[in-house]
Chains A and B, each alone.
Chain A
Amino acid sequence: MGVTYLEKFRDPSLAKNLVAAIHKESRSPIRLMEVCGTHTMAIFRHGIRNLLPETITLLSGPGCPVCVTAQKDIDAFVAISRQPDVIVTTFGDLMRVPGSGTTLAGQKGAGADVRMVYSVFDAVTIARQNPDKQVVFCAVGFETTIPTIAAAVLMAADQGVTNFSIYAANKLTPPALTALMTTQGVSIDGFILPGHVSVITGVDGYRSVFDAHKVPSVITGFEPIDILHAVLMLVRQNESGVPALENAYARAVKPSGNPKARAVMHQVFTAGDAVWRGIGLIKNSGMKLKPEFRVFDAGTRFDLNLMDVPEPKGCACGEILMGLKTPVACALYKKACTPMTPVGPCMVSSEGACAAYYNYG
């Protein structure tokens, strides 16, 4: 029996060599940000942090889709679930994220019809099976999920599933990187760029951000070998003083990404401003339904009447997502805020930095 794909990317001797090379070559202290929550998780699950030399600090970035969903958007999901004859469909992680009041899980407990789905297409199916109900999909996630959501909207339009709608709180990765680089106090010596997102955006998707700020950047996958490889490449870029935009995940990411998926996404959505939880408004970092698809916009279908409520006091999610703080520096961490009683979204999502520190730290 040959070595399977996963075993190859978890090979202990390969890992050892990479770790040795990182230790040997890393001299000046550097701060690297793993942009994506899946990377944060993988780094913790494989115990990568304690394999790295003291010179390297890993920071978690704004790439946990649940964590960056604005409180007001969560409030909107909750408000929709309170409407009569509505079925709210959502990815699991979102269920427990507190808005300004309750959570979707709380609503479900109180009798609202909130269902966890694994794919947006399940939501369309539910809509087809329940023609007398309004079925709303809470759309969060980055470039990885947006094309599928767009495809589901096209499918609903095509099949006349008019009781289906989405509340689009999706976000785009490159504008967030630009926002980070232009925020005062943020210092990052290298980006570990998300593999899944890059399958869609391609290497080219980061070109303009890279050209503007010249921060060492490496796209990589989620296996331990992928991550260690990316760290080594970033160490080398820093030590040589020659920043580059490199791809360590060529087995999945093409330079031009997946133009077909992007075409579907742009057929349905157009870029718009979006509020990132803890960070604030980032220009052109969100997705809005194009006018011809606006009938599928749950935000206009329901009269939600939302209020602006300030984010919870003391929660440092925003600073954590920008690499300004680590969870242990938050006064609420492990005290008022635990996975059982999360104050901020970074503690709720399985990909959130606070949850990762708590569960694996």
Chain B
Amino acid sequence: MNGNKMNTENNNTILLDHGAGGKASHALFSKMILPLFSNDYLDREDDGAVYQVPAGRMAFSTDSYVVDPIFFNGGNIGDLAVNGTVNDISMCGANPLYISVGLIVEEGLPIKDFQKIIKSMATAAKRAGVKIVTGDTKVVPRGKADKIFINTSGVGTIFNGVNVSGSRALPGDKIILSGTMGDHGIAILTAREGLMFDGDLKTDSAPLNHMVKAILSSGCEVHVLRDPTRGGVGTTLNEIASRSGVGMTLFERDLPIKKQVSGVCELLGFDPLYIANEGKLLAIVPEKQASRVLDVIRADAFGKNAAIIGEVTDQHPGKVFMETAIGGQRLVDMLTGEQLPRIC
């Protein structure tokens, strides 16, 4: 009776009650969350998830998602949050297993938006093959959050004998990027600013765990795995170069990039090397294995446009240079501050 009243009367928006721990909270969880996320661990509705720990090493990662707008072409904050943590765990050389979801919802979020987000989280978890085993929902008064913030954390088991780290790049290694650069950042920017451009530019948000599993079980040696999210490929490679104490050279002509993305970048004065990706990885591997790793990545659904984009050198340690398409050379520095559109 009460549950019904709640559904019909209250304008189909999330209310403070929904996070207060009472009936409304329970209804929200059991009607809108549990059926979608359902699995043996969550269904027990305990305070936390209890699971067997396999032998060996584990990876543990957390990230919070505050993307604005919450819906954009090709995805929303929900699948982004699941894929993001799946990928962070994967980049440790691990197989992600369980994740937690913390939702902070602003009062007044339309229920149908909430449902859409939860649904895409469930779909994303299924696609990645991970279980959402514990979670929490809080509702804050209007203006105290922006629509919805999501934290996801997760654990995974590290593949046997695998040792990847940002400090392991060696001179002579090849740098592989698993697909086109900057799709996510430009999709968000165009959605945020209401900019209209030709073509259908979507976020690249995707789980990379299957790709990582394929790479690591191919028998090839892998030195570094990283997903170039915020700060883009340029910033991520700079971090690796300085942590590994090596130099890098990129080849502009080999950088995979969609025409629409380079078009928007030209127009607004952005450098695609610094635009965020949410479904791409950088693999740094010994030269003799590079073409095999490239084949493995290309065989994955999210790796079709993978390319070898550069190499690790013993020159100028800590610095990344690029050979430009016309044969010039330039530094690819860390991104400082936010990338801003040019004005003339």
Contacts and interface: CB of A to CB of B under 8 A. Distances in A.
Contact of A118 (B193, B322, B331, B337): B193
A327 interface: no
B253 A46 contact: no
B146 to A, nearest CB: 15
Contacts of B328: 46-51, 224
Contacts of A12: 253, 325-327
B2 interface: no
Interface string A120-146: 000000000000000000001110110
A46 B268 contact: no
A4 interface: yes
B330 A360 contact: yes
Nearest to A143: B344
A225 B326 CA distance: 9
A215 B258 CA distance: 41
B343 interface: yes
B342 A351 contact: yes
Interface string B252-286: 01000001001000101101000000000000000
A52 to B, nearest CB: 9
Given A92-B341, A118-B193, A361 B331 contact: yes
Nearest to A19: B327
Interface string A182-221: 0000000000000011000000000000000000000000
A38 interface: yes
Nearest to A145: B344
A92 B269 CA distance: 11
A19 B325 CA distance: 14
Nearest to A7: B325
Contacts of A66: 343
A359 B331 contact: yes
A61 B323 CA distance: 26
B324 A350 contact: no
Nearest to A228: B326
Contacts of A142: 344
B336 interface: yes
A361 B338 CA distance: 20
B1 interface: no
B195 interface: yes
A36 B269 CA distance: 14
A268 to B, nearest CB: 19
B30 to A, nearest CB: 40
- Interface centre among A19, A95, A145, A360, by most B CB within 10 Å? A360
A224 B344 contact: no
Give the size category of B's interface with A.
Answer: 20 to 34
Interface in A4-60: 4, 6, 10-12, 15-16, 19, 36-38, 41, 44-51
Contacts of B344: 36-38, 65, 141-142, 144-145, 196-197, 351
Contact of A91 (B324, B338, B341): B341
Nearest to B336: A339
Contacts of B325: 10, 12, 46, 224
Contact of A45 (B262, B330, B343): B330
Interface residues of A, number: 49
| Main SS at interface, chain B | loop
Contact of B340 (A19, A228, A350): A350
Contacts of A351: 269, 342, 344
B333 interface: yes
A45 B262 CA distance: 14
B340 A92 contact: yes
B342 A93 contact: yes
A224 B343 contact: no
Residue with the greatest number of chain A CB neighbours at <10 A, chosen from B269, B324, B331, B337:
B324
Contact of B336 (A15, A94, A228, A338): A338
A118 B327 contact: no
Given A6-B262, A45-B271, A140 B343 contact: yes
B329 A50 contact: yes
B270 to A, nearest CB: 9
A92 B330 contact: no
B262 A340 contact: no
B333 A359 contact: yes
A96 interface: yes
Contacts of A4: 259
A358 interface: yes
Contacts of B327: 12, 15-16, 19, 47, 51
B340 A10 contact: no
Contact of A51 (B253, B266, B269, B326): B326
A163 to B, nearest CB: 22
A47 B323 CA distance: 8
Contacts of A91: 341, 343
Interface in B288-344: 322-331, 333, 336-344
Interface in B181-208: 193, 195
A36 B343 CA distance: 12
A144 B343 CA distance: 9
A15 B326 CA distance: 6
A86 to B, nearest CB: 20
Contact of A46 (B195, B326, B338): B326
Nearest to B332: A360
Contact of A224 (B195, B322, B324, B331): B324
A47 B327 CA distance: 8
A95 B341 CA distance: 11
Nearest to B343: A91
Interface string A317-330: 00000000000000
Given A36-B344, A45-B271, 8 more contacts: A47-B322, A50-B328, A51-B328, A93-B343, A140-B343, A144-B344, A350-B340, A351-B344
Interface of B: 193, 195, 253, 259, 262, 266, 268-269, 271, 322-331, 333, 336-344
27 contacts: A11-B326, A12-B325, A15-B327, A19-B327, A37-B344, A46-B325, A46-B328, A46-B330, A47-B322, A47-B323, A47-B326, A47-B327, A51-B327, A91-B343, A92-B340, A94-B343, A95-B340, A96-B337, A118-B195, A145-B344, A228-B326, A340-B336, A350-B269, A350-B342, A351-B342, A359-B331, A359-B336
Closest 8 CB pairs of A and B: A47-B328, A92-B340, A15-B326, A339-B336, A91-B343, A47-B330, A47-B324, A47-B329
